Amino acid sequence: GFLHLSDHGIASEVLGALSVARAFFESDEDTKSKAAHPRKGFIPVDGCVNAVRPPHLHEKFSCGRLADSLVAGDPYYSGPSDEAALYFGDANQWPDEADAPGFRAAYEAAYRAFEGLCLDLHAAVAAALRLPPDFFDAA
């Protein structure tokens, strides 16, 4: 599905700071490859070959949960399943600050803001379904 949100409450400064991502992706392959990882970090074109998904024709930066995540301890992200380990078991691989000034700080600020927005959306969907507001919270 697709959803477009407006008036979401995420500060324009947080969204604007993500412009540092453009600078990272416009850097040369050697610089980007310093932060390369098959699941957590820079993933080049065709760089995401694993048992779960085929390679893709785009490059991306992928990040897992932050240490101070709003849902830290949720067994979905740290549980005993092989899928949890595959998707969430690796540490995030960040570009060096010298190679991508402000990238990590901007990315982490945006991640926290988006995670908070997701939790707000969970409560809103629960209310629309006439469920308790914490229905979708971690058990």
> pLDDT truncated to tens, each residue of the chain (139 aa)?
788 888 999 999 888 888 888 899 999 999 999 998 877 889 888 766 555 566 667 788 888 777 766 565 666 666 666 766 666 677 788 999 999 999 999 989 998 899 889 889 999 999 999 999 889 876 4
Closest CA to 95 of 105, 85, 86, 87: 105
DSSP type of residue 70: T
Tokens of 18: 């993500």
What's the predicted TM-score (pTM) here? 0.76
* Beta strand pairing call for 60-62 and 41-43: antiparallel
Closest CA to 42 of 17, 21, 69: 21
On whether the CB atoms of residues 43 and 36 are closer than 8 A, the answer is: yes
Can you tell me whether residue 124 is helix, strand or coil?
helix
